[in-house]
Chains A and B, each alone.
Chain A
Amino acid sequence: MQEKQFDIVIIGSGAGGGAAAQELSGLCKDGVRIGLLEWGPKFRESDYTGQELEMAQKLYFDGGGVLTKDKSMTLAFAKAYGGSTVVYTGTSLTILKETVARWGVPGITWEDLKERSKKYISQNNVHLLEEDKINDNNALFRDGCRKLGYRVEQFPVNVKGCQGSGMCNLGCPNAAKQGTHRVQLPAAEKNGVQVVTSCKVERIGDRVLEAVVADAGVGHPSAWAPGRYRVRAKVIVVAAGAVNSPALLLRSGFGRSLPALGRYFTCHPALILVGQHEKPITNYYGHPKSFYSDHFAESGHFLLETCMYFPFTTAKNLAGFGPEHSRFMSRMDLLQMILVLAIDEAAADNRISVDGSGNPVVDYTLTSATLDSLYESMKVCAKIFFAAGAAAVHAPAGKKFLIKAEEAGRLDEFITRDELKTGKVSIAAAHLMGGCRVGENSAGSVTNVWGRVHGVPWLYVADASLFPKAAEINPYVTIMAMADRSAEDIRRRAPQLLN
């Protein structure tokens, strides 16, 4: 086993790890050695082909099809230089004041998160797309919502030179999306942070970790040769995401003193709903996610966002099969899509654990409340589709495959709660959060409000696993803000931690 030594090691390079790396990189000029270990490879520009299956296999764990323990839901999260910021749509919202109040963690204020968010919104070129870049799929959602009196807003997005490939979830083939792989990581490397890709951290011990570098077979080669490594560091920052951070800490034995480790996992369970128009609309050209509605966030506990998916993803998210499914699929140019995100409660029993081999297990139960939200959302979306002029709507909990426009007044009859059955309806986790939640003590949380693991002064967490409850919006800016806090605490404590 080869030995390596750093002062600070960061594990993971997504929104959290990337932000932490940049914020700590200023220490390099004082001689502090910082390493960042990322499980995935750094892709070459030519690797972004826009092909659905090829990119899913390259970018996502289990090709985007990680299943929960009870197999009711899939989870998609990436491994790459830049983590999941390579595959999101770039939607950049600041957490709401009400949400932070609901988090109810003394020491975490909305004003603080807002200030930190502002920095990343500026760095990552967040702005609203011009009207001529809005395709029909997005405009119809906006217009449908407005007709019905639902509040609807345009998403600020973090793109530079977006050419509207619509392939955001497959990694932007035009290098336009400003994830950490375009902004924070290059800045950190410029300041002296050493990034090691294709490097999986297996275990953390007392200021030491064990890692394996493997040839990913794609992208740039890792900075280290394939093999096993023992890496010593005075500070370790875990930013491997809401599944892998708790899993890493659990298999390293930290669960013995931290009963909340892995628990309170939330994920915004999501449905893709589809309307069909009589004439072609522009849907796969242009940015796929330009508008959202939080009109039902308080009353129905769900959010609505525009989306446009690829053939396989679309097909598997429709309930049904056979001739009517095929006919529907055969005209993707007629389809309008909405993504529903349920705002799920943080429950202690929804948790990440590890199996006998140390691999993560996502033990998540969809509650009645979440299923109720998803059910209500189907009727709301059907109304939006029809208000936008759709000829038919596919509701996964529909009593029939398609509800026609002339049946729009009979939604309660055709979309029923008892048809919303797990397995029949395809549910996917949209945003993975919690598992190393912040809080006041080790009885109910894993870290303090600065991301420092309770009772372990050299160990930090800096990613979405810190969230004590759901973000209730697309979370990446908030992840960066939380990681920013962890980095600030490390900088503040550097004299005692690093000497």
Chain B
Amino acid sequence: MLSSGERLFLLQAASVIVPEAARLDAGSKEEFLRIIERALETRPVAMQRQFKMLLRLLNLAPVFYYGRTFDTLETQKRREFFSWLQGGPIGLLRKGFWGLKAMVFMGYYGQPEAASTVAYAPSKEGNEKLEKMARV
């Protein structure tokens, strides 16, 4: 569903949005992309098209500011570009960037293995755990 260019852009964007994503091993990177692809597959076709268009737009847009496409920018400039999108004056770009962020967070934090890296360890027997902690 995602082209190789779109996959590459998502991985590059992810390493700016969640810096730890740059250190994912090959299997986890594949899982990151698979989660995003699966989420897109369940969305309306129009939304899938809009998201793919957004990825292309975001890769090209830095040309107007830096004279280079996103994939050729250094990390710091990528971060500046995303900061501008997020707080900038153009509502459509802010919302588009929010959509990109949401997908990246889904791909990264949606992996069950991520829970242990964020000190999140829920239990179906949460009350038992509460009780034990209260005794301690």
Contacts and interface: CB of A to CB of B under 8 A. Distances in A.
B26 interface: no
Contacts of A423: 86, 91, 93-98
B124 A50 contact: yes
Contacts of B101: 316, 321
Contact of A312 (B87, B105, B122): B105
Interface residues on A, range: 35 or more
B122 A285 contact: yes
B91 A133 contact: no
Listed residue (B19, B94, B99, B126) with the most chain A CB atoms within 10 angstroms of its CB: B126
Contact of A330 (B94, B106, B110, B119): B119
Contact of A321 (B18, B35, B95, B123): B18
Interface in B1-55: 16-20, 35, 38-39, 42-44, 47
Contacts of B128: 163-164
Listed residue (B82, B124, B131) with the most chain A CB atoms within 10 angstroms of its CB: B124
A282 B130 contact: yes
A315 B109 contact: yes
A463 B67 CA distance: 55
A322 B79 contact: yes
Contacts of A72: 95
Given A311-B114, A424-B86, A164 B130 contact: yes
B125 interface: yes
A422 B39 CA distance: 23
A316 B118 contact: no
A173 B123 contact: no
Interface stretch (A30-38, A62-70, A96-104, A190-198): A62-70
Contacts of A330: 117-119
Interface in A331-346: 331-334
Given A315-B105, A421-B94, A423-B98, A53 B17 contact: no
Interface in B99-114: 99, 101-102, 105-106, 108-110, 112, 114
A275 to B, nearest CB: 16
Contacts of B123: 165, 285
B133 A316 contact: no
B99 A163 contact: no
Nearest to B79: A322
Interface in B38-84: 38-39, 42-44, 47, 79, 82
Nearest to A288: B126
- The DSSP consensus for interface residues of chain B is helix
A163 B126 contact: yes
Interface residues of B, number: 51
A133 to B, nearest CB: 6
A413 B39 CA distance: 39
Nearest to B86: A424
A361 to B, nearest CB: 10
A329 interface: yes
A318 to B, nearest CB: 9
A285 B130 contact: yes
Contacts of B99: 71
A135 B130 contact: yes
Interface string A260-287: 0000000000000000000010101110
B44 A359 contact: yes
A156 B121 CA distance: 26
B120 to A, nearest CB: 4
A65 B18 contact: no
Interface string A304-332: 00000011101110011111011001111
A89 to B, nearest CB: 13
Contact of A164 (B20, B38, B119, B126): B126
B124 A173 contact: yes
Interface string A182-207: 00000000000000000000000000
Nearest to B102: A316
Contacts of A162: 127
Interface of B: 16-20, 35, 38-39, 42-44, 47, 79, 82, 86-87, 91, 93-99, 101-102, 105-106, 108-110, 112, 114-115, 117-131, 133-134
5 contacts: A53-B39, A53-B106, A167-B122, A321-B101, A330-B117
Given A162-B127, A164-B128, A321-B86, 4 more contacts: A65-B102, A316-B105, A334-B119, A424-B87
- Pairs A-B, 7 closest by C-beta atoms: A423-B94, A164-B127, A164-B126, A285-B126, A423-B95, A315-B105, A311-B109
